[in-house]
Amino acid sequence: MHVLIVHAHPEPQSFNAAMTRTAVDTLEANGHTVEVSDLYAMQFNPVAGWHDFPQAADPSFLHYQREQKIAFERQTYAPEIAWEHGKLTRADLVIFQFPVWWRSSPAILKGWFDRVLGVGFAYGAGRVYSTGGLQGKRALLSVTFGGPTSAAEAVEVLQQLQDGVLAFVGFEVLSPFVVGGPRHLTADARQAELQRYHETLEALTCDRTPPGQCHHRAPLVHDALEQA
Ligand SMILES: Cc1cc2nc3c(=O)[nH]c(=O)nc-3n(C[C@H](O)[C@H](O)[C@H](O)COP(=O)(O)O)c2cc1C
């Protein structure tokens, strides 16, 4: 299978960066292919605007969703948006790796949602949820919190992103992978969390691995809701 990791952390030595490296190593070792959109390293611009539409249909008034629809139909999007569309189109699984900031994602990832998950490509004309543009693909939120976090708190914080964004555009949303307070853990405990992530990724991709090599089922988000 092909996996896209959308990574949103500014520090390459952070625990989030270690999680993305773990994911790349784990997935490639299991025969999968991986692309990473490292948003800070790419200096991805999270600000929506005219620059999204080099050939805007109506230069007198920025109707953002209408221009998204037309840019998608005419294939006139700015290259940085078109490249992200290409990565999403190729992916079977998309992992969003980020620290929880203000009970949500860092702004750079919110801007990526605003600009990349546009009308036409991701939703629109009645294409939402099971008929959304990303149908047939799976999505995983892999996140860190500042401190210990209960499953119920994680579900509450991540609900809007999982349902209001990812499920809305058609993703099958997997149960999130959550690490509470990595900065307060010992080196051994951090390593144990990376090992848990490695095992989780092996489990949730095993349905695309040769038969007999694994025996797990990828949990869906409602499993986590039932446990909360
Ligand atoms: C701007 C900002 C907002 C934050 N908001 C939250 C929050 O709402 N909830 C929380 O648990 N931690 C919050 N944190 C703490 C981070 O989630 C935490 O430092 C990070 O997950 C640790 O991972 P790292 O070591 O890879 O950075 C915030 C941190 C920053 C910088």
- Given this model, what pLDDT does residue 123 score? 98
User: Which protein residue's CA is at the shortest distance from atom 15 of ligand 1?
Assistant: 146
Please compute the mean of the pLDDT values over residues 119-137 and round it to a whole number: 97
**pLDDT confidence of 228, banded at 50, 70, 90?**
very low
Separation of 98 CA from ligand 1 center, angstroms? 9
Closest C-alpha to ligand 1, atom 29: 101
State whether the beta carbon of 183 lies less than 6 angstroms from ligand 1: yes
pLDDT category at 208 given cuts 50, 70, 90 is: low
Measured from the Cβ of residue 94, the count of other Cβ atoms closer than 10 Å reads 22
Helices within 30-177 (DSSP H only): 64-74, 79-90, 107-116, 151-159
- Å from CA of 211 to ligand 1 middle: 39
For ligand 1, say whether the CB of 184 is within 6 Å of any of its atoms. no
- Average pLDDT rounded to a whole number, residues 148-161: 94
pLDDT of residue 102: 98
Residue nearest atom 3 of ligand 1, based on CA coordinates: 101
Report pLDDT for 106.
98
Shortest-distance Cα residue to atom 2 of ligand 1: 101
Homologous superfamily of 2-227:
Flavodoxin domain (3.40.50.360)
- What's the average model confidence in pLDDT over 207-212? 60
pLDDT of residue 206: 84
Residue 142 in contact with ligand 1 by CB distance below 6 A? no
Q: Encoding tokens for residue 92?
A: 């079977």
**Residue 219 pLDDT > 80:** no
Return the domain boundaries, the chain.
2-227
pLDDT at residue 226 is higher than 70: no
Q: Is the pLDDT of residue 60 over 70?
A: yes
- The average pLDDT across 182-198 equals 98
Q: How confident is the model at residue 64 (pLDDT cuts 50, 70, 90)?
A: very high
The pLDDT of residue 198 is 98
Cβ 146 under 6 angstroms from ligand 1: yes
Contact 97 CB / ligand 1 (< 6 Å): no
pLDDT above 90: residue 30: yes
The pLDDT tens digits of the residues spanning 74-92 come to 999 999 999 999 999 999 9
Q: How confident is the model at residue 62 (pLDDT cuts 50, 70, 90)?
A: very high
pLDDT mean over 210-216 = 55
The stretch 17-22 carries a mean pLDDT of 98
